[in-house]
Amino acid sequence: MAKDSEKKTCGQVMSEWKEFFWNPRTHELLGRTASSWGLILLFYLIFYIFLAGMFVLTMYVMLLTLDDYKPTYQDRLATPGMMIRPKGNALEISYNSEDTESWDLYVQALDNFLAPYNESQQIMNNKDCTPDTYFIQEDAGEIRNNPKRSCQFNRTMLGNCSGINDRYYGYPDGQPCVLIKLNRVIGMLPGKDDQSPYVTCGAKKEDSSLIHELTLFPKGGMFNLMYFPYYGKKAQVNYSQPLVAVKFLNVTYNADINVECKINSLAVASPTSERDKFAGRVSFKLRINKN
């Protein structure tokens, strides 16, 4: 145990700290002379300049491998994803057919989503293509065939779900329309043997008795081949994504109905995993209340 006489006073400790911070006898700052600090700072300056140079060089080399119009590497799923409009909260469409406020937001969402599909917009921006065949637009070697044209998808193709003849999309009548879209995948050719992929919809097994009748637009619920392949947002600036509309004509009121829509194609792998609920299918809940 140290003797009391060996213990340092507070003044001595402070004096030692002051001398460590700046020693007037040796001209040392924090225990180092000016030349020592200069060498350390020079070392770290060179070190970080070297790291920054390596980072810039790496980024430059990587950017040289990128294509502005097409991904250099594309690790896509064998089955593209699907989504609905309107999607509501947590993919749930729930409303009271006799309460305008409960379904008005769905109608507005569909109006906004379908605005670019108006006939005037489609005629102005897109090409009238030949149905049932891929719209291939290849580059001529190093010469880019850009911007690439897109095929017209007029909202009138959605029949009673176009919002033209029925501006409320059937919601107040208890016959709502839901739009299905297939996620864009660059270069995907989803058809096989000249067969276009098509959508099927229905209630899940436990709710199979709650949907009595539905219909799909365009006829057969097809994504026509002429809308494929997709060349990317920059190369195909006016691309109009094809849609399928499902209209529920007769469902059980005041009940939660779990609906599932799937893509069917010989060239697209069928969804097999329950972990990815949007690969080749989309599930949502439909509830139509009526007083």
Average pLDDT over residues 170-192: 92
Amino acid found at 195: Q
So what's the pLDDT on residue 68? 77
Contact of 77 with 279, CB cutoff 8 Å: yes
Under DSSP, the state recorded for 218 is: S
Q: Is 275 left (phi over 0), alpha (psi -120 to 50) or beta?
A: alpha
Q: Give the β-pairing of 257-264 and 198-203.
A: antiparallel
Specify the pLDDT at position 117. 96
* pLDDT tier, 141 (very low <50, low <70, confident <90, very high otherwise): confident
pLDDT for res 211: 94
Give the residue among 227, 199, 268, 242 at the shortest CA–CA distance from 137.
227
Q: Give the whole-number percent of the chain exceeding pLDDT 90.
A: 59
The confidence band for 244, taking pLDDT boundaries of 50, 70 and 90, is: very high
The alpha carbon of 69 is separated from its chain's Cα centroid by a whole number of angstroms, namely 18
Which DSSP category does 158 fall into?
Answer: G
Task: Evaluate whether 35 touches 27 at the Cβ level (below 8 Å).
Answer: no
- pLDDT higher than 90, residue 269: no
Q: What is the pLDDT of residues 127-136, one digit of tens each?
A: 999 999 999 9
What are 49-103's pLDDT values in tens digits?
999 999 999 999 988 888 777 777 776 666 788 999 998 888 999 999 999 999 9
CA dist., res. 66 & res. 69, Å (int): 9
pLDDT of residue 275: 57
Please tell me the chain's helix, strand, coil percentages from 3-state DSSP, rounded to the nearest 5: 30, 25, 45
In the predicted structure, residue 2 carries a pLDDT above the cut 70: no
The pLDDT value recorded for residue 89 is: 83
- Which CATH number among 3.40.190.10, 2.60.40.1660, 3.30.365.10, 1.10.8.60 corresponds to the domain 82-289? 2.60.40.1660
pLDDT of 80? 85
Q: Return the domain boundaries, the chain.
A: 14-64, 82-289
Query: So what's the pLDDT on residue 5?
Result: 53
The enclosing H or E element of 285 equals strand 281-289
Span 163-169, average pLDDT: 95
Amino acid 246 reads V
pLDDT confidence tier of residue 277, bands split at 50, 70 and 90? low
119 and 155 in contact (C-beta within 8 Å)? yes
Q: Dump pLDDT digits (tens) for 188-228.
A: 888 888 889 999 999 998 888 999 999 999 999 999 999 99
Give the Cα separation of 264 and 200 in Å (integer).
7
User: Would you place residue 1 in the very low, low, confident or very high pLDDT band (cuts 50, 70, 90)?
Assistant: very low
**Residue 73 CB coordination number (10 Å):** 6
